[in-house]
Amino acid sequence: MGRGRVQMKRIENPVHRQVTFCKRRAGLLKKAKELSVLCDAEIGVVIFSAHGKLYELATKGTMQELIERYGKYTGGPPADEPMVEPMDAKKEIEMLKQEIEILQKGPRWTLCFKKSKC
């Protein structure tokens, strides 16, 4: 006789939840490795626990290579272009003020029309 169907809801007991997480994580990673070997597939798995701990598996190469390859297929940013980090608002305002000052101090071009004096 097989096991009964597990009801899909959050496990309230933290100890039982942690034990289930460890067992199912191990099972998931084992299945990913088996699929990779049997079907010659490249697989990447990323898992973050409830405590923020990272678990990852890349069956061929590194996780970074796999993510770059994924980015190529999905139209993500190219690997050779660095991602732009968002600036602090105060720093961005200060930088824009400096650019405005530079533009204002630069050579001024005026438009001259036939009737006006330049």
Please report, for the domain that includes residue 76, its CATH number: 3.40.1810.10
Residue 41 lies in a domain: yes
Q: Per DSSP, what are the bridge partners of residue 56? A: 46
pLDDT at 28: 96
Is residue 95 included in any domain, yes or no?
yes
SS (H, E, C) the chain: CCCCCCCCCCCCCHHHHHHHHHHHHHHHHHHHHHHHHHHCCCCEEEEECCCCCEEEEECCCCHHHHHHHHHHHHCCCCCCCCCCCCCCHHHHHHHHHHHHHHHHHCCCCCCCCCCCCC
Residue 59 domain boundaries: 14-104
Q: Which residue, chain included where needed, has tokens 């602090």? A: 88
pLDDT of residue 44: 95
The reply to whether 71 falls in a domain is: yes
Domain count, the chain: 1
Report field, pTM of the whole predicted structure over 0.85: no
pLDDT digit string, tens, across residues 69-117: 898 988 866 556 666 667 688 888 888 888 887 777 766 555 555 555 5
